[in-house]
Chains A and B, each alone.
Chain A
Amino acid sequence: MDTDIILLGHGSGGKLSHQLLEELIIPTLSGVPMAGRNDAAVLEHNGSRFAFTTDSYVVDPVFFPGGNIGGLAVNGTVNDLAMVGATPLVISVGLIIEEGFSRRELAEILTSMREAADRAGVSIAAGDTKVVPRGKADRIFINTSGIGFFNHTLEINGSNARAGDKILINGTIGDHGIAVMAKREGLELDTDILSDCAALNNLIEELLEEGEAIHVLRDPTRGGVATTLKEIALQSDVSITLDEAAFPLKGAVRGVCALLGLDPLYVANEGKVLVLAAPEAAERLLERMKQHPLGRDAAIIGEVTAVGGGRVQIETVVGGMRGVEMLSGEQLPRIC
């Protein structure tokens, strides 16, 4: 079947997205095949390191329980910088607005952006606004880019996982994806699940006090924890074993997942970080997380078991064992 056109699955964050990046986008734009891919690029100039990243936000619905597209756009870029260990400094904002969009809602979105920036300690330093005719965009799209600096020399990236590393997460999984999905047109489930959308830079800065012990930081957004850990396993060429029973998961999230036939391991998060760290530091990191407001439900969910393989497997809640692969195509509600 021809794939001469772009499909929605190419933007899902799963395997199709990777293929498009590897085969077309990165080779064309950079002229070199894709090497390591991290949340932000780490660049050097005149002997000092800085981090640079960009991300576009097209969430539907624009307002969802626990937040809106504005806060999401600021927090997402702040988090991408934090995931390479950088301290976020400034961000830019590009707004693409559909003709007819409510001014009141725009004000609300901008206020959320401002509040999120204040909380994260970044300034919004540049911006651009475009309005397109009705029907040429879906309400509002936002792009944010960000620059961060380093006040340490640690190398934190997805190729840095080592055998023996413990894997931690700072709280419950799947909250954002389910909060958004439950409000989609036609579904309108009555739940009290809120998005976990939050800036993680402050929490990360505290964790970085453990220094060299921290090997990988990554936020499991699109594609969820499963896709993110599989990426890390491949990038670092290690094998990972997870313990499903250790995963923090809200009962309501599990309920909606069961109803829609979704696996919470593949559902998006917006205020979560996966930390791969040396085993001797794991308990201390867990304590640090639990002391932080964004880490109260933190847990150790698995470990890097071996060098090589690029595999992820999970011991299931009932004691069985299965493999974990990347999200394929769109994760859609099942048929019955």
Chain B
Amino acid sequence: MNYRDEFRDRDIVKGLAARIARLTADRSEPITLMEVCGTHTMSIYQYGIRRLLPPQVRLISGPGCPVCVTPVGYLDKVVAYARQPETIITTFGDMLRVPGSSSTLMLERARGADVRIVYSTLDALALAERNPGKRVIFLGVGFETTAPTIAASILTAASRGVTNYFVLAAHKTIPIPMQLLSADPELGIDGYLCPAHVSAIIGADAYRFLAEENGVPCVVTGFEPADVMQGVEMLVRQVVEKRSEVEIQYSRFVTREGNPKAQAMLLEVFTQADAAWRGIGVIPGSGLDIAEKFAAFDVERGFPVEVEVPSEPGGCLCGEVLKGKVAPSDCPLFGKACTPEEPVGACMVSSEGSCAAAHRYGQVE
């Protein structure tokens, strides 16, 4: 029975729950904490963590599921590329079922498009080298965790002289939308559970402006249940003690500075750009475009395609869900017209999407 270890230890988690309860015992106003990252959302649902917290402590999910924040227009572009001859689309699995305006990659694959699931960008690059007569396009969706791997693949392709490997880039960065959301009075965010993997790259200091200028406590937190509970405890303590600092719960992986090598690669291959977020709109400076020097690997610059006019799925509240304003079960389509089999919005597709997590793990007596 190897299911237990210290990060899943029931007694440690119970102890943290008791501490959180003590800290909030004589407090009636709510403490609203946002977990920005989809992996936290998953973990919170999977381990039933909300049930361990006092009613004053509210956890809301943020825009940290990369598939979910990718706008419909991007998927329409993907579908258009998938329909091109001599083209192989390579992607991480989650993208397959995300609805575009009128199709999905899964439907395109069933109709004959060459769509391959890969586990790393270097697999996609190897595929390009094995198929010199084809255009191999990697779907560059993700945050600062996946962006360095894309950068690495572009650098490798450049050094090996590979000319048929391309990226359809839609990378996003996390801290700027966090600032936008923390300024929203309707949300009233009292603290952020900052992502684990992203922070390992960008470093905890990347959130300092949030704590210092916007007065929002930040704790970089790991994914295991004991990590999440400890992260919540540290945030609640900051709120109660009226502090706002950047603290690192996940110190076994994250430092203040982050990973300088990965940061240097990002700087070399990408430039900061505006990015469109599903449900939120365009956020200035929140995206990464392929730098001019590597334009040859940008499929949009090399081979523009005609794309249908994007139409958002009717009735889907993904945008509000991503901002933490609406809980999945508040969406009138949830579990009815919108299920993981026939998802209406992206939040029901990705394993890290709030709607999918709520659908899979939500039903408790």
Contacts and interface: CB of A to CB of B under 8 A. Distances in A.
3 nearest interchain CB pairs? Answer: A320-B48, A332-B93, A328-B340
11 contacts: A8-B106, A187-B119, A245-B10, A261-B352, A319-B52, A323-B362, A324-B361, A328-B340, A329-B341, A335-B352, A336-B197
Contacts of B117: 332-333
Interface string B98-122: 0100111011011100000111100
Contact of B339 (A244, A247, A328, A334): A328
A249 interface: yes
B361 A5 contact: no
A323 B340 contact: no
A6 B110 contact: yes
A18 B296 CA distance: 46
B293 interface: no
A319 B14 contact: yes
Interface of B: 1-4, 8-10, 13-14, 39, 42, 45-52, 66-67, 92-97, 99, 102-104, 106-107, 109-111, 117-120, 123, 141-143, 145-146, 197, 225-226, 229, 339-342, 350-352, 356, 359-365
Nearest to A18: B341
B364 to A, nearest CB: 5
B2 A325 contact: no
A254 B46 contact: no
Interface in A234-252: 239, 244-251
B348 to A, nearest CB: 9
Contacts of B110: 5-8
Given A313-B363, A319-B13, A330-B93, A9 B341 contact: yes
A323 B362 CA distance: 5
Contacts of A239: 365
Nearest to A299: B1
Interface in A10-68: 15-16, 19
A15 B360 CA distance: 12
B46 to A, nearest CB: 7
Among A6, A247, A316, chain B packs the most CB atoms within 10 A around the CB of A316
B8 to A, nearest CB: 5
A215 interface: no
A272 interface: no
A317 interface: yes
B341 to A, nearest CB: 5
A322 B364 contact: yes
Among A5, A254, A334, chain B packs the most CB atoms within 10 A around the CB of A334
Given A186-B118, A316-B47, 11 more contacts: A1-B99, A3-B342, A7-B110, A9-B97, A316-B225, A320-B49, A322-B361, A323-B363, A332-B93, A336-B39, A336-B143
A246 to B, nearest CB: 7
A320 B228 CA distance: 13
A7 B49 contact: no
